[in-house]
Structure 1
Amino acid sequence: MSTATVPVAGASPWDRVRGYRPPSRYLPVLATFALFVGLFGVGGLRYEGFADPQVFLSLLLDNAFLIVLAVGMTFVILTGGIDLSVGSVVALSTMIAARTLELGWSPYLAMATVLVVGAVLGTLMGLLIHYFDIQPFVATLAGMFLARGLTYLINVESISISDPTFSEIAFSTITLPGGYYTTWTVVVALAVVAVAAYVLARTRFGRTVYAVGGSESSAMLMGLRVAAVKVGVYTISGFCAALGGLLFAVYTLSGNSLHAVGMELDAIAAVVIGGTLLTGGRGLVIGSMLGVLVLGTIQTFISFDGTLSSWWTRITIGLLVLVFVVIQRFMTRRQS
């Protein structure tokens, strides 16, 4: 296991800074952070107003739901799994919220119902994967079709959300120093990142997640609770997808069966760009958040330019994912 370089006693501060080498597990996240800063810097030089702090805050606002989604996906990929159902669960969550509010339910009861449904769906997929030894791709693909189908059973038309509580959350802002502002959805997304980072770094569950991703057989031989963790990460992913769906419902103030089509691929791309190994065992939640911000910055580039097709966003994301996967392959080969 690599560690940071320890400065020699009596060395000058400059020598200490120059001689410092961060642990290798932080290098992918640092690379993603450098990419994000570089993109934002180039945008600031090329487009007037791009470097305004409010643009960054708007980036968080527009991608708060995707940040939450990427957090859940990080847990799954760290164990070597995948979850293709999260985009459909987002759509189902918006439809459940919109329909229950339309029927006169309390907004808090509607929110609780959405979160429970998301967690239950995730748990069921986790049980299929672990106890029936079904490949995560197949199990979550079935979950994707199930969740998307349920949205059409609720309603094939879009349902507007006019509930005062949802509207208040959507339009209320938090004023920051300098006259900048953000929203409560951003606060929720950042809180989810902070809680997830703590769980992965400071709890036995988090350490077991990394152990299962590194080698499931070795984790079982060590007596770790592999079953609970493998099912648990899909429960977390389902819960995060439902919470992301609530944030998306607040963002759009509507429920629609066509919401979040392909969003699971955006979440996976963000996690990969954020430095999490697709084979599991290595990655950080903060990296996934940075991956989302990289994707958002690319979209902001397209918007500021005004002449480029929106398809350039997909092209650029595809190239970035390819580059990061190749880098991961080189790193794992070198370490093995």
Structure 2
Amino acid sequence: MSALITLPAAEPEGARALAKRLSPHLDTLPSAAAVVIFVGMIVYGEAAYGRIVQFSTLSNLLINNAHLIVMAVGLTFVILTGGIDLSVGAVIAVSSVAGVLLINAGWHPWLAMPLMVLIGTAFGAASGVLIQYFHVQPFIATLAMMFLGRGLASMLSTEPERVADDSVLRLLGTQLKILDGPKVDDIVITPGVVIAALVVAAAYFVLHRTRMGRTVYAIGGSEQSAALMGLPVAATKLRVYIISGSLAGLAAVVYTARLGSAQNITGIGWELDAVAAVVIGGTLLTGGAGFVLGSVVGALVLGLMNVLITRDGGIPPEATTIITGGILLVFVLLQRAVLPRRRE
């Protein structure tokens, strides 16, 4: 009998070779698209309205969206596992109202502010327990927490509550000049921006340098496979909702410090803004792929969009939600295009 000769497989050529070469980078495609859109918006804004590429505009962009960045970081953990958290906006409302009421009642702000974060922690823990141990769908569990938080905020107060201008809480919103530029073109930050930057750095470290981060990505890829590999699935899923709730409470501190007041209607729709920022930043809604830095870019895209609409003057504010929905739809379709290739 003649021996069978096995020929070496032919190397893929042309489009197949290109696809093979690009396949490891498909996960970064949505995040890269977000960066391109952000840069494109800056170029368009500078050409159409002017005074976009300057220190003061970019400083205000960070200051005004520091709370959204903190929220988006928390949602990134949740969405990476394939979950969702709809309670973060209501958590901000109840945390901010409770914190301001306590400060006005005589509590020291350094006690009230940690309590604001702990309120978010409690909401996140409740959501995590419902999801992991009572097997409630994340959408339903966090929706229930959203109604609970909004109701508690309304029970605490239905009127705007303000803190004194000399309160320690307001110090977190104090603008600090880093660089004195020409005229009013200065580099300015606030302690709230510093807090947001520290949160981003810590989240990046946890997701990319720790066992918990690897477990988060594994759960999003396949929760069953992660469990079979012996990864702590239950504990990690509980932790991501605690992280999301805690960061929502921290976002309440940052936002209240900047504004100096709190209302029971604060944060309505902010959970959708945070989800939009995460999705625009490249995190797959199905979980398993995404980057916390992409979520930061997504938050800045939404913030810059508001700046451009304000500068234009002819676009009604209501159009913001329409434009946000359009951008979100584009990125969801982009994710749908990437996902089948990623699975291959």
Query: TM-score, normalised to structure 1's length?
Result: 0.92
Quick one: which of 258, 261, 265 aligns to 1:251?
258
1:284 equivalenced with 2:291 (yes/no)? yes
Distance in structure 2 (CA, Å) of the matches to 1:20 and 1:157: 55
Quick one: which of 317, 320, 340 aligns to 1:313?
320
Counterpart for residue 59 of structure 1: 61
Counterpart for residue 3 of structure 2: none
Deviation digits for residues 119-150 of structure 1, max 9, x if unmatched?
11101110110111100000000000001111
TM-superposed deviation, 1:158: 1.2
Counterpart for residue 218 of structure 1: 225
Deviation digits for residues 142-190 of structure 1, max 9, x if unmatched?
0000011111121111110115212222224142364421211111111
1:119 equivalenced with 2:126 (yes/no)? no
Counterpart for residue 141 of structure 1: 143
Counterpart for residue 80 of structure 1: 82
- Tell me which amino acid in the other structure corresponds to 1:119: T
Counterpart for residue 128 of structure 1: 130
Deviation digits for residues 95-114 of structure 1, max 9, x if unmatched?
01100001100101001111
Larger-Rg structure: 2
- Tell me which amino acid in the other structure corresponds to 1:143: M
8 Å Cα contact 1:176/1:182 also seen in 2: no
- Tell me which amino acid in the other structure corresponds to 2:151: G
Quick one: which of 154, 157, 167 aligns to 1:152?
154
Deviation digits for residues 223-258 of structure 1, max 9, x if unmatched?
000001100000000001000011111121111101
Quick one: which of 176, 182, 188 aligns to 1:173?
176
1:197 equivalenced with 2:200 (yes/no)? no
8 Å Cα contact 1:68/1:189 also seen in 2: yes
Counterpart for residue 237 of structure 2: 230
Distance in structure 1 (CA, Å) of the matches to 2:309 and 2:81: 35
TM-superposed deviation, 1:276: 0.3
Name whichever of 301-310 and 155-164 sits farther off.
155-164
Distance in structure 2 (CA, Å) of the matches to 1:33 and 1:60: 16
8 Å Cα contact 2:97/2:156 also seen in 1: yes
1:295 equivalenced with 2:297 (yes/no)? no
Quick one: which of 138, 161, 185 aligns to 2:192?
185
Distance in structure 1 (CA, Å) of the matches to 2:161 and 2:275: 28
Identity of aligned residues (%): 46
8 Å Cα contact 2:124/2:243 also seen in 1: yes
Instruction: Rate the CA distance shift 1:129–1:152 in 2: closer, same or farther, 3 A.
Output: same
Distance in structure 2 (CA, Å) of the matches to 1:172 and 1:275: 31
Secondary structure at the residue paired with 1:223?
coil
8 Å Cα contact 1:174/1:184 also seen in 2: no
Secondary structure at the residue paired with 1:66?
helix
- Tell me which amino acid in the other structure corresponds to 1:240: L
Runs of at least 5 residues in structure 1 that lack an aligned partner in the other structure? 1-18
Runs of 4 or more above 4 Å deviation: 19-22
Tell me how large the CA RMSD over aligned residues is.
1.5
Counterpart for residue 50 of structure 2: 48
- Tell me which amino acid in the other structure corresponds to 1:167: R
Counterpart for residue 323 of structure 1: 330
1:91 equivalenced with 2:101 (yes/no)? no
